[in-house]
Structure 1
Amino acid sequence: MRVDVDPETVGRREFYALLNSVVVPRPIAWVSSRSADGVLNLAPHSFFTVSCVKPPMVQFTSVGRKDSLNNVEATGEFVVNFAAEPLYEQVNASGTNFPPEVSEFEAIGVTTEPSRTVSVPRVAESPVAIECTLHTTLELGDCTLVIGRVRHIAIDAAMMDGDHPEVRRLRPLARLGKDEWTTLGEVRSITRIRHSDWPGHFTPPGS
Structure 2
Amino acid sequence: MHYDSENRTLPHNPLKALVAPRPIGWISAMNKQGHVNLSPYSYFNAVATGPDMVMFSSFGRKDAMTFAEEGGEFVCNFATYGLRDAMNATSAPLARGDSEFVAAGLTPVPSRKVRPPRVAESPAALECRWLQTVPLTPLDGSEASHFLVIGQVVSIYVDDAFVKDGRVDTGAMHPLLRGGYFDYFSVTDEARFELKRPPGAGQ
Q: Same fold (TM over 0.5)?
A: yes
The answer to whether residue 194 in structure 2 is matched with residue 189 in structure 1 is: yes
2:130 aligns with 134
Letter in 2 for 1:22: L
Question: Shift of residue 197 of structure 1?
Answer: 8.2
**How many Å separate the matches in 1 of 2:159 and 2:56?**
23
The answer to whether residue 175 in structure 2 is matched with residue 175 in structure 1 is: no
2:70 aligns with 74
Question: The residue matched to 2:3 in structure 1 has which SS?
Answer: coil
Relative to structure 1, the CA distance from residue 137 to residue 8 in structure 2 (aligned partners, 3 Å threshold; closer, same or farther) is: farther
Question: Shift of residue 100 of structure 1?
Answer: 2.4
Aligned residues: 193
**How many Å separate the matches in 1 of 2:109 and 2:81?**
20
**How many Å separate the matches in 2 of 1:36 and 1:190?**
45
Question: Shift of residue 10 of structure 1?
Answer: 4.2
**How many Å separate the matches in 2 of 1:36 and 1:14?**
39
**How many Å separate the matches in 2 of 1:96 and 1:48?**
19
Q: Alpha-carbon deviations, 1:60-82, whole Å to 9, x = none?
A: 11122211011111111100000
Relative to structure 1, the CA distance from residue 130 to residue 193 in structure 2 (aligned partners, 3 Å threshold; closer, same or farther) is: same
Question: The residue matched to 2:83 in structure 1 has which SS?
Answer: helix
**How many Å separate the matches in 1 of 2:63 and 2:76?**
15
Letter in 1 for 2:158: I
Percent identity over paired residues: 37
**How many Å separate the matches in 2 of 1:197 and 1:178?**
46
1:205 aligns with none
Question: Shift of residue 101 of structure 1?
Answer: 1.5
Letter in 2 for 1:50: A
2:147 aligns with 144
The TM-score with structure 1 as length reference comes to: 0.88
Give the unaligned 5+ runs of structure 1: 199-207
Q: Which moved more, 1:24-33 or 1:57-66?
A: 57-66
**How many Å separate the matches in 2 of 1:197 and 1:156?**
41
The TM-score with structure 2 as length reference comes to: 0.89
Q: Which has the larger radius of gyration?
A: 1
Relative to structure 1, the CA distance from residue 65 to residue 10 in structure 2 (aligned partners, 3 Å threshold; closer, same or farther) is: farther
Letter in 2 for 1:113: V
1:90 aligns with 86
Question: Shift of residue 9 of structure 1?
Answer: 4.8
Question: Pairwise mapping of residues 17-28 of structure 1 onto structure 2 (< 5 A)?
Answer: 18-28=14-24
**How many Å separate the matches in 1 of 2:6 and 2:154?**
41
1:103 aligns with 99
Displacement over 4 Å in runs of 4+:
8-11
1:4 aligns with 2
Question: The residue matched to 2:68 in structure 1 has which SS?
Answer: helix
**How many Å separate the matches in 1 of 2:115 and 2:60?**
25
**What is the alpha-carbon root mean square deviation over aligned residues?**
1.8
2:121 aligns with 125
